[in-house]
Amino acid sequence: MSSVPETPAVDGTPVGSAHTGSPLVELTPAAAGLLRRLHHTHGPLMFHQSGGCCDGSAPMCYPDGEFRTGGSDVLLASLAVEGVEESVPFWMSTSQYEVWRHTRLIVDVVEGRGSGFSLEAPEGVRFLIRSRVI
């Protein structure tokens, strides 16, 4: 079983690769396909999951750098997406990380309208987190 850190890394090294030896975040084929389409329209992308208002714990997709991260955020993964040159960083608030740190997060896509802040909102779909205890 993988060891998950009590305290997240804050040096820009993804927590999953630095501490567990396995990814803490992965993409379904549907999520990867949507990211390719969004990248074609918006350029480099990023995710942030805060657990705050709006869609609660739904991952929000933004143009890379549009959402400001800081000391209260953890970089969980740099996601490789086939057909996209840049990796897609996946950030989470530290408070959310404390709740989710024993799970593998699986980014998926479902039909339905999510938050107006996330790039996929006009597509009629939304990103969703599925999870598995690690």
Per-residue pLDDT of 45-65, as tens digits, reads: 999 997 766 556 689 999 999
Entry pTM:
0.83
**CA distance linking residue 90 with residue 108, whole number of Å:** 14
Mean pLDDT of 74-93: 95
C-alpha of 107 from chain center:
7
Cα-based torsion angle of the residue sequence 97, 102, 107, 111 in order, rounded to the nearest 10 degrees: -90
